[in-house]
Amino acid sequence: MTLAPESPVHDDRPLIGAAPPSPAGPIDDAEAASLPLPPMVDLPKTIQTLRFNQRQIDFVFGARRRLGEVFRMRGIIPGGPVITSHPDHVQSLFKAKPDLAPSLTAESPLRPIVGPNSTLTANGPRHLRQRKLLLPPFHGEAIEKYMDMIRDAAEHEIDRWPVGKEIELAPRMQAITLDVIMSGIFGIEGKPQRGTPEAALRRAIRGLVEVSTWKIAQLGELMNIGSDEPVGITKAGLEFLDRPTYAVIAQRRRAADVEERGDILSLLLQARTEDGEGLTDHELRDELLTLVLAGHETTANSLAWAWERLVRTPAAYDRLRDATRGGDAALSEKVVEQTITEAMRSRPVIPIIGRRVKVPWRLGDYAVPADTPVTMSILLIHHREDVYPDPFAFRPERWEGQKPGTYTWIPFGGGTRRCLGAALAMAEQRVVMEAMARRLDLVADRPEPETAIHRNVTMIPSRNARVKVVSRAA
């Protein structure tokens, strides 16, 4: 597993997607009893929880070096979790019937925030119903209509960046992605007008995202794990957010043109169950908050990470700059795509996802009992040397002639829980990255890479991807 990159084994085969086979999937009690449990991380429970929450990169790489590609932790969530980094184990979980391996997002610290009723946090029939409802507006073709809007938002934002000064990219990316998602959900063009409930909601969301970087808020999130109702600072923050959300819903329920509008809120308002029942205000609120929260910070930080890497990797930056400025649209498109793919491999904004297996499950040489939370470390999977030679190097050209593997490149997860907004997130990243590469020359504020900090379930650059704008083309 941890062969040196220069090992001849790694030299001459097409590596992306290849890893030695490892049996995985549901097994019966007798087989489970014949296999050992994965090894346990040898640290006290509190230290594990804190390290995992604050320094997940060091923690998971350290544990994998010591214990191998499957290991067990104590204390983060009831029953574990077990962490794996083998693509065959990932495949077994992504392809499992949903009732055999329901998603752990139902237990995540997000649940008290977005509620138990959304596509993200529900399991079982409710999840399927909500997901089916939301798939069409997030489909590749449907998001074509946002492209001009994304382009305008990106160009407008870039026009305002001061030349010769240092700026933080993450909040600037967030301004773009929040407008895009709010436009999709509420059907507003550009920024919402002052005095409208949508404008108040936008302000509240920006405030909440800002507050969530505070250390105290991160501890508050830990307190929410396993609870159905928000507690502490999260509760206070949510009251601030709920008021404008319910105001937007009430206003839209009264609107005469709901049936003609194509936005997501109008679509949800018209949705009916088989018994003819519509969604309650509470259910609508959960879904709207999920889409806004899941949809904008992730995309913004993914772009921020891409630039954090680019300004520290001259070969990759030069390649991107040349491609976007050379007048060959097909080449530009290809290189932008490869750069985003590599950035999402190297710095996955959501570093871990999971399922709770409902029957005994084999994971290579080990087995876990029914009801174990099994997580997939996206970070570890994306840094397997046997799949990605020289995994710590940022090399977009590694994707030349290669497609991302379904079980080896998983920044959007997979199976029936694969990110609903993946097509939108990719479209936003393409447009924004292309405009930035074409129009701006950026340099790192300092040579050392930014470290990762963890906010809720996301991993973000510690200094918000700080860069200096050297020049800007009209």
Q: How far is the CB of 85 from ligand HEM (least distance, A)?
A: 15
In angstroms, give the least distance from the CB of 120 to ligand HEM: 4
Window 334 to 353, contacts with ligand HEM (CB under 6 A): 349-350, 353
379: contact with ligand HEM by CB under 6 A: no
- From 141-149, 154-162, 247-255, 417-425, give the range in contact with ligand HEM by CB under 6 A: 417-425
**What's the closest the beta carbon of residue 181 comes to ligand HEM, in angstroms?**
5
Counting beta carbons within 10 angstroms of the beta carbon of residue 393, is it exposed (0 to 12), middle (13 to 18) or buried (19 or more)? middle
Tell me which residue of 148, 152, 158 sits closest to 474, measured CA to CA. 158
Closest CA to 180 of 439, 456, 435, 426: 426
List of E strands, 369-416? 372-377
* Interface pick for ligand HEM out of 85, 92, 299, 339 (rule CB under 6 A): 299
Q: Which of 413, 427, 433, 460 binds ligand HEM (CB under 6 A)?
A: 413
Q: Which amino acid is at 348?
A: P
According to DSSP, the β-strands at 372-377 and 80-84 are parallel
- H/E stretch holding 453 reads strand 452-455
Mask for 189-228, x = binds ligand HEM (CB under 6 A): ----------------------------------------
Does 420 engage in binding with ligand HEM (CB under 6 A)?
yes
From residue 119 to residue 138, the character string flagging contacts with ligand HEM as x (rule: CB under 6 A) and all else as - is: xx----------x-------
Q: How many residues sit close enough to ligand HEM to count as binding (CB under 6 A)? A: 27
CB 140 within 8 A of CB 422: no
**What long-range pairs does 211-215 form, CB within 8 A, spacing at least 24?**
211/237, 212/237, 212/455, 212/456, 213/453, 213/455
Binding to ligand HEM by residue 302, rule CB under 6 A?
yes
Instruction: Specify the pairing of strand 458-461 against strand 452-455.
Output: antiparallel
Q: Which stretch binds ligand HEM (CB under 6 A): 245-253, 293-301, 318-326, 367-375?
A: 293-301
Q: What are phi and psi of 227, to 5 degrees?
A: -110, 150
> What is the nearest approach in angstroms of ligand HEM to the Cβ of residue 168?
18
Residue ranges that bind ligand HEM, judged by CB under 6 A: 103, 105, 119-120, 131, 181, 290-291, 294-295, 298-299, 302, 349-350, 353, 411-414, 417-421, 424-425
